[in-house]
Structure 1
Amino acid sequence: MTGHWDLDPSHTRIGFSTRHAMISRIRGAFNEVSGWADIAEDVADSSATVIMQAGSVDTRNTGRDQHLCSEDFFNIGEFPEISFVSSAIDEVDENSYVVTGDLTIKDVTKSVSVPLELLGIDSDPFGNLRAGLEGSRRIDRRDWGMEWNTPLDSGGVLVGEKITLEFEMSLIKETKTAAEAEED
């Protein structure tokens, strides 16, 4: 598993879900994601970065997506990217990891720990070595300055404050030719 791995955006979903009107669940994802992981022999020396283009948010509702891009939520005019940069990666069990890092949304950065399960490593039909990882983590959107809401007559609110972040990632290991390795 050691080496440099690039996130495969066409086989990766970085998404979220929350309650809507306190009775249903809304799901969304970011259609433009990038990232990488540098995995060291000692996993504790590894690092990872994931970047999402906030304006690529997709909840299958254009009006809602536009509202999420506004100053009430992501404010993409001023803060076009959402990023997660690891500060620690811990192997907690076989194929189970906790990645702790700084999640930056708008101008707020907070430490978040995300449990991830390594689903497997295998070669695809094109000769790429792939790794699959999945995990999720609940956060409170208000911690990142996203306070907007509308009260309901029933006493609840329109948009849930707890957000479940969802990670379904496919990474491809970087391979170098012998000549490229010598240049390093």
Structure 2
Amino acid sequence: MLSLQRSVSGRRFRNLSNSGIPRTFGIVIGCVGRRMGAAQRDEGGRPMATTETKTVNGISVPPAGRWEFDKAHTSFSFVARHMLSKVRGQFPEYEGSVQIAEKPEESKIVVELNAAALTTGNEMRDGHLNSADFFLTGRYPTIRFESTEIRVGEGNEFEIDGNLTIKDITNPVTFKAEFLGWGPGMRDTTMAAFSAKTTVERADWDLTWNMSVETGGLLVGKKVDLEIDAEILKAE
């Protein structure tokens, strides 16, 4: 388990489990940002009745319930160094949700990516990434992330601790995240949006393939950036 009182980039993040502030993923999405949009009204222009909105530090919190990723506005991607350039890839096929509980400490985020569907825009490279040199997707078809802890930072910043499983190897990771807002969406939906990033050592998941280059150094960087750009919708 990662330290719950760790300092990142000079900022102190609080362990919410001991502060009385909700520490769950979905709740913190609302805690560190601002609500978007105006109150909904009926056909006569009168404000519609709504349930009481919870607040943390004076900021409204999304309602409890199941939230699903809007696949038209969500991406799970990675960026890796290839010699002097960078290669960006995405996992376009995935399943997952955010469950915001009435008791915030019971909320959860779980995402499962279809590793075999990864794409970098180059079929030969994608085939290599699917092979035994990297993800070995014929044996390990799924990449899984499950959150374990949330900490609120400054402004709209927060952190997501969780377990990342690749090739049946599980390691803890921490995403530095930014809340982008929540409120009424299109077609009578309620939406929230956030982005998150982390950097990992690929060798921690037995992704060690590499080659030396004539000019010195390695063909593939040892570190990989993982990025999430997400919009979630409250399920009915």
Decide: shared fold, TM above 0.5: yes
Alignment pair present for 1:30 and 2:99: no
For residues 127-157 of structure 1, what are the alpha-carbon distances to aligned partners after superposition, in whole Å with 9 as ceiling and x for unaligned? 1111111011000101100000111011111
CA distance in 2, matches of 1:147, 1:168: 27
**Is 2:101 aligned against 1:40?**
yes
Would you say 1:11 and 2:73 are equivalent positions? Answer: yes
User: What residue in structure 1 maps to residue 199 of structure 2?
Assistant: 138
In the aligned structure 1, how far is the partner of 2:168 from the partner of 2:96? 20
Q: What is the CA–CA distance in structure 1 between the aligned matches of 2:86 and 2:169, rounded to whole Å?
A: 26
Q: For the residues of structure 1 that align with 2:155 and 2:108, how far apart are their CA atoms?
A: 19
Q: Which residue of 1 aligns with 2:130?
A: 69
Match for 1:121 among 174, 177, 182? 182
Superposed counterparts of 1:101-116, under 5 Å: 101-116=162-177
* Separation (CA, whole Å) in 2 of partners of 1:98 and 1:43: 16
Answer yes or no: is the 8 Å Cα contact 1:47–1:88 preserved in 2.
no
SS in 2 for 1:10: coil
How many Å separate the matches in 1 of 2:104 and 2:126? 37
Measured in 2, the distance between the counterparts of 1:41 and 1:93 equals 25
Name the structure with the higher strand share.
Answer: 1
Letter in 2 for 1:14: F
Partner of 2:158: 97
Deviations 1:69-122 (A, max 9, x none): 111111111110000011112223443321111100012100111122110113
Unaligned runs of 5+ in 1: 176-184
RMSD: 1.4
Q: Moved runs in structure 1, 4+ residues, more than 3 A?
A: 40-45
Q: Which runs of 5+ in 2 are unaligned?
A: 1-61
> 1:42 offset after TM fit, Å?
5.7
Percent of aligned positions that are identical: 36
CA distance 1:93–1:40, shift in 2 (3 Å): farther
TM-score, normalised to structure 2's length? 0.70
Give the 3-state SS of the residue equivalent to 2:132 in structure 1: coil
